[in-house]
Structure 1
Amino acid sequence: MVWRLLPMLAFQLAPAVAVRLFGGADTSLSLVLLAALAGGGAWVVIDGLQGARLMRWLRAENPTELPSIGGSWGEMQERIRRLLLLRERAVRENDTRLQDFLAALQASPNGVVLLDADKRIEWFNQTASDHFGLDSQRDLLQHFGNLVRDPGFAGYFTAGDFRHDVQMPGRNSTTSRPVNLSVHLHPYGEGRSLLLSRDITAKEQAEAMRRDFVANVSHEIRTPLTVLAGFVETLQTLNLQEAERERYLDLMSQQAHRMQTLVSDLLTLSRLEGSPLPSAFDWVSVPALMAQCEQDAMHLSCALWMEPHVLDFSATEASEIAGSASELQSAMSNLIGNAVRYSPADQRVEIAWTVQDDGSAVFSVRDHGAGIAAEHVPRLTERFYRVDRSRSRETGGTGLGLAIVKHVSQRHGAELLIESTPGKGSTFSIHFPARRVRPMATVRASAELIDA
């Protein structure tokens, strides 16, 4: 305030002193006072003009363009400019932090919805959009309860008890491909809410598979153990004839073999799930695999049926597959073994190796049995899943063969396809990518080139 008074006094004193000095000793006091008053008026006019320029600058849309203002108004202008710059910098930093925060929420694997005190949508990420079918252009500021109408969630939303989550189907959930969500509301601030949604479909499916797996393993092992225990008790308590004893021992041997096969298949699955992927540089001869499969299939057919099957092996080209010989042998033998087990005796089973024009190859097994209904096909590769449990046990199946085939196919970058028509038979095929297949002629040519 002092710095504003000093210029004003200077403007008043300067003309008064000038009048007194140049007017002489006879200058009247009224004239001196009039000169001082005129100087003060000039100061008021100049000061008012500078103040007006400052006000115009403050009212402008772009206050960064500085007018030339001197004096205390200029100092005030500079201080205001610095404050504006600090405020703009703070706004930019806050906006950057907000964008980083929203980007982090956008990248979250969970759905995030911000609701105001009236439960209207303020913001949501893409995951929440997928979970609830929200649209950023249409649904902002809409009441969330009007957009998500699942009865379970509606009751949870209305009750206001948000200490726990609620489960509901996702927007894109169908009978064939269910989507289950876990939704939890977290109140915060002054009546606002943070809604989190999480896709728990895979978790629930894994939990269901685990329960089914434990129940099936327990059942599969308990059944032969019960039979063995009964036969052992019979042998211990009854005085049997030699022929009866031999028959009981033979049945016990069958049950023990069944348990051994089951354990072996379980160990195979465990090894497939826990071991590194097979090498892409170890090449296995397809004719050698087919020959071993043919020998195993003939032995199995003779053991199961009075009249063995007609096994038709064919190959369009002698090839090699990059991968594990034992795994490939296991997958191919399982497919052929299933065809032998579930096809009537004296029926033809066609096993083919076909190289496609693009260099890929297909190993297929076709039988002419009863076929499989369409509703069973998607579940055939599940562990212990059987279309006919009693028939599977009679033929010695463990219910793990196709699960092993699926794992081996995936580990070799291949795909297992199943086609079946009730009453006409089934075709199981493994489609190998071109990078895993090469003709044996190429191998011989490379060897001759090296020798030369």
Structure 2
Amino acid sequence: MNSTRRRGAIAFFLTLGVCLVATAVVLQFGWIIVNGKRFPVLLVLGIVLFILMIAGMIINTIFLVREIRRNERQDSFLNSVTHELKTPIASIQLSLETLQQRPMSEDQRQGFYGMMMEDNARLLATVEQILRAGDASHRKSARHRLPVDLRALTLECLNDIARRHQLRPEAVRMEDRAQGAAVIVAGDVEDLRSALMNVLENAVKYSPVGVRIIAELDLARDGRVSLKINDSGVGIPAAMLKRVFHRFYRVTGRDSVNVKGTGLGLFIVRSVMRQHGGDATAQSFGPGKGTTISLWLPSTGQHGEKA
């Protein structure tokens, strides 16, 4: 219902803007025709005022539509966060009530403890993601710049994601194209780990048929480090590739998978990359054809052979 109202509001403001522009054109040209021939100065003044008025109307309409869409993304974020927080809390509450009211064996109790630990981890991950997004939107550079072995960090994150989701060894692998060189970047290791894990979590979540993740590590000719995360998931429509990095933005129309989220993951990824002097881009050949998230970071120049 809310999305329908917002679409109606966008259509209304666009229509209103077009009508106002058309009215201004008619009135202004009429004024110019009537007065322009007798008073050349008024003709010039009328043209200038006409251009300013049309530009103001167009800018005003654009800002109105952007504000409506921004509010829509924020409402979607609030709904998603409410679900992400409420679901594990309700599950923990139910487990606690069951433990309190029913006699059960030690194995059964341990099973409930395990479920509560998983729900608590999910709750904590959601809170940490929101906090990181808030921090990322305010910081312009990395807090701590220390040498980070990106190869080792990538392998650590790949192993972590495989363990979390119980993936087969062949489902997650790295292709090292750096020819044995040490790949060192300067940055905050925890921020970089968070960015990598966000990309990998998305790759798993949006691969409902089967997970296949390939991380390609390379050294670009311009001195940057390139890390590309390829998945075989549902893909992203071409029109949405740039917008997926916006805060609160979530890709719509992917009927093959129903994934809850906050719309903050890739926003955090790009923010972290830019704080480290790099960038993040997305590529996909369309729905059902997987996605490639490319991470670029400046190297420290320490590309000697690995020990």
Q: TM-score, normalised to structure 2's length?
A: 0.66
Q: Counterparts of 1:362-441 in structure 2 under 5 Å?
A: 362-381=226-245, 382-383=247-248, 385=250, 391-393=258-260, 399-421=263-285, 422-433=287-298, 436-441=299-304
Q: In 2 relative to 1, CA 143–430 (structure 1 residues): closer, same or farther, beyond 3 Å?
A: closer
Please identify, of 411-420 and 244-253, the stretch whose mean Cα deviation from structure 2 is larger: 244-253
RMSD across aligned positions (CA): 4.2
Query: Is residue 314 of structure 1 aligned with residue 176 of structure 2?
Result: yes
One-letter identity of the residue aligned with 2:174: D
Q: Percent identity?
A: 25
Cα distance between partner residues in 2 of 1:310 and 1:443 = 23
Q: Counterparts of 1:261-410 in structure 2 under 5 Å?
A: 261-275=125-139, 277-278=141-142, 282-302=146-166, 305=167, 309-316=171-178, 317-343=181-207, 348-381=212-245, 382-383=247-248, 385=250, 391-393=258-260, 399-410=263-274
Q: Deviations over 1:157-194 (max 9, x none)?
A: xxxxxxxxxx95428x7xxxxx226xxxxxxxxxxxxx
Q: In 2 relative to 1, CA 289–231 (structure 1 residues): closer, same or farther, beyond 3 Å?
A: closer
Please identify, of 357-366 and 243-252, the stretch whose mean Cα deviation from structure 2 is larger: 243-252
CA contact (8 A) 2:183 2:225 kept: no
Where relative contact order (Cα < 8 A, 6+ residues apart) is larger, the structure is 2
Query: Match of 1:260, SS?
Result: helix
CA contact (8 A) 1:120 1:143 kept: no
1:236 offset after TM fit, Å? 4.7
Q: Deviations over 1:394-429 (max 9, x none)?
A: xxx665322221110121122211011222211100
Q: 180, 187, 192: which is aligned to 2:63? A: 180
Q: 46, 70, 77: which is aligned to 1:141? A: 46
CA contact (8 A) 1:415 1:430 kept: yes
Cα distance between partner residues in 1 of 2:108 and 2:28 = 80
Q: Deviations over 1:252-274 (max 9, x none)?
A: 43322211111122222233344
Q: In 2 relative to 1, CA 294–215 (structure 1 residues): closer, same or farther, beyond 3 Å?
A: closer
Q: In 2 relative to 1, CA 336–218 (structure 1 residues): closer, same or farther, beyond 3 Å?
A: closer
Cα distance between partner residues in 1 of 2:222 and 2:258 = 40
Cα distance between partner residues in 2 of 1:138 and 1:354 = 62
1:309 offset after TM fit, Å? 1.2
One-letter identity of the residue aligned with 1:289: L
Cα distance between partner residues in 2 of 1:346 and 1:255 = 24
Query: Match of 1:418, SS?
Result: strand
Query: Match of 1:333, SS?
Result: helix
Q: How many residue pairs are counted as aligned between the two chains?
A: 263
Q: Deviations over 1:60-113 (max 9, x none)?
A: xxxxxxxxxxxxxxxxxxxxxxxxxxxxxxxxxxxxxxxxxxxxxxxxxxxxxx
1:366 offset after TM fit, Å? 0.9
Q: In 2 relative to 1, CA 233–403 (structure 1 residues): closer, same or farther, beyond 3 Å?
A: same
Cα distance between partner residues in 2 of 1:391 and 1:248 = 26
Cα distance between partner residues in 2 of 1:325 and 1:355 = 19
Q: TM-score, normalised to structure 1's length?
A: 0.47
Cα distance between partner residues in 1 of 2:168 and 2:150 = 30
Cα distance between partner residues in 2 of 1:401 and 1:266 = 9
Q: Counterparts of 1:106-121 in structure 2 under 5 Å?
A: none
Q: In 2 relative to 1, CA 298–255 (structure 1 residues): closer, same or farther, beyond 3 Å?
A: closer
Q: In 2 relative to 1, CA 147–335 (structure 1 residues): closer, same or farther, beyond 3 Å?
A: closer
Structure 2 residue runs of 5 or longer lacking an equivalent are 1-26, 30-40
Q: Counterparts of 1:14-53 in structure 2 under 5 Å?
A: none
CA contact (8 A) 1:371 1:423 kept: yes
2:59 aligned residue: 170
Cα distance between partner residues in 1 of 2:284 and 2:240 = 10
Q: Deviations over 1:30-79 (max 9, x none)?
A: xxxxxxxxxxxxxxxxxxxxxxxxxxxxxxxxxxxxxxxxxxxxxxxxxx
Q: In 2 relative to 1, CA 251–137 (structure 1 residues): closer, same or farther, beyond 3 Å?
A: farther
Cα distance between partner residues in 1 of 2:142 and 2:72 = 30
Query: Match of 1:423, SS?
Result: coil
Cα distance between partner residues in 1 of 2:49 and 2:152 = 64
Max radius of gyration: which structure? 1
